[in-house]
Amino acid sequence: MVGLGAAAALPLSSVATGAQQLLPINTPGVDHLDIIVPDVAASARFYMSAFNTRLHAQPFQGGFRYFILLGELQLPGREVRYLAIGDSRGRGTYIGHFCTSVVNWRRDSAAIMAAITDSVAKAGLSPITAGAGIGGIFSDPDGIEIQFLPAPDTLVTAAVPSDLVPPNQGLLTPRGVDHVLLHVANLEKGVQFYRILYGKEAVREGAPERVWFQIGNTRLGLQQAPAGQKPRIDHFGIKVAAFDRTRVTEGLQKLGAQVIASPEEPGVLRFRDLDGITLEIRAS
């Protein structure tokens, strides 16, 4: 891993109104992301067997959205980081969006989105597709979905404890989001866009070439999408308490996960879930 040197010195977007700087955003990090799958109950059972945590559910369009808590739910604000599981309804299986919470988002949301739109246009990048409202999801120039919510992020008000599976029976104790990795159409243009949101990038890795942004105590990575593949969220990482690699590997395989060898990263355990979604766990 090396510093970006001259690349990091390129101009950044900094938009302020009075004493309040809007960009880059003021954020404690990536709070949650969602996966879109054909069988939400089966996916929830898998993740509850993988993670030693609690499950919440929200009635949604005649079914449920499930929430895998990545820490203890903090009351009274219902603050927690989480993984949301939504029904694909024929849309395929994929990682839907990642969410970054933003300080003073309720107050500044319109101004921040206007500043992003203006900065993107001035940079000559493809326009973003903006969502509406405080919890609106918008898309980056590649169509990858991002959500901003007020910091700290809180569990959806309509979500309540679910009795689908017993709590705290899983293999690993989660401690929040570690990172999200995006496959982008053009690496340098992707870096240019995410500088607008998050400020100067932190490091560049080689083989494969990846650029990382440090976002609070989480990370966002960018990598060139393989030829012939569309930009997307490639995978995500979850911080967990120290674990026995052999025991957890065997446990995940019994659950039906495909464990992916990563000898070059001894501190990482990488696997695909029942629907082929890739994630990593890292002891923290």
Give 8's pLDDT tier (boundaries 50, 70, 90). Answer: very low
- Tell me, rounded to whole angstroms, the distance of Cα 61 from its chain centroid: 24
What does the pLDDT read at residue 133? 72
The answer, yes or no, to whether residue 115 has pLDDT greater than 60, is yes
Burial of 16 (0-12, 13-18, 19+ CB in 10 A): exposed
The pLDDT of residue 262: 81
Q: Where are the domains of the chain?
A: 174-283
Residue range 174-283 forms a domain whose CATH class is: alpha beta
Determine the longest span between alpha carbons in the chain, in angstroms: 57
Neighbours of 246 (CB within 10 A): 8
The three-point CA angle 110-115-120 to 5° equals 130
For 217-269, how does the pLDDT look when each residue is reduced to its tens digit (9 = 90+)?
999 999 999 999 999 999 999 999 999 999 999 999 999 999 998 877 778 99
Question: What global pTM score does this model have?
Answer: 0.92
Confidence of residue 176 (pLDDT cuts 50, 70, 90): very high
Percent of the chain at pLDDT exceeding 90: 84
Q: Which residue has the higher pLDDT, 134 or 108?
A: 108
Closest CA to 213 of 177, 264, 179, 176: 179
Residue 4 banded pLDDT, cuts 50, 70, 90 = very low
Check residue 15 and give its pLDDT: 59
User: How much is the mean pLDDT over the chain?
Assistant: 92
**Confidence check: pLDDT of 12 > 90:** no
Average pLDDT over residues 64-73: 97
Answer whether residue 18 shows pLDDT above 60.
no
Average pLDDT over residues 13-41: 84
- Report whether pLDDT(79) > 70: yes
